[in-house]
């Protein structure tokens, strides 16, 4: 079993849609959690950290459920520029463990 598992993609959605990505992690001792975004043939970049109380950054909302070891990312009012791969990332002892990523394609 992979340490961090994400929804298989790709997600193809129209502009303006709301899309949700899910992620589960296997190590209950994981300390912190992140969503990264990776554009085609580019390096991953931090999108947002994920906090137990849930947090928002504009159109993006991240949730964490430690009891279920589940992380989510909600994107509202999707833009063409949101097309990318979204990586669920877990910190275990100072090392980041990455999910495979979910590809999002937003169409006009």
**Angstrom distances, CA of residue 82 to CA of 18, 19, 39, 65, 96:** 11, 11, 9, 25, 23
Nearer to other proteins, 58 or 94 (CB): 94
Nearer to other proteins, 23 or 106 (CB): 23
Q: Report 31-70 residues binding other proteins (CB under 8 A).
A: 31-32, 34, 36, 42-46, 49
Nearer to other proteins, 62 or 78 (CB): 62
What single DSSP character describes residue 29? T
Among 13, 17, 96, 105, binds other proteins (CB under 8 A): 96
End-to-end CA distance of the chain: 37
């Amino acid at each position: 079993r992979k340490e961090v598992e994400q929804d298989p993609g790709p997600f193809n959605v129209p502009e303006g849609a709301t899309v949700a990505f899910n992620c589960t992690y296997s190590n209950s001792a994981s300390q912190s959690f992140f969503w990264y975004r990776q554009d085609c043939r580019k390096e991953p970049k931090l999108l947002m950290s994920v906090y137990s109380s849930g947090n928002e950054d504009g159109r993006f909302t991240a949730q964490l459920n430690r009891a279920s070891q589940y992380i989510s990312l909600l994107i509202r009012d999707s833009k063409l520029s949101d097309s990318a791969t979204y990586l669920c990332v877990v910190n275990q002892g100072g090392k980041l463990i990455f999910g495979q990523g979910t590809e999002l394609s937003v169409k006009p």
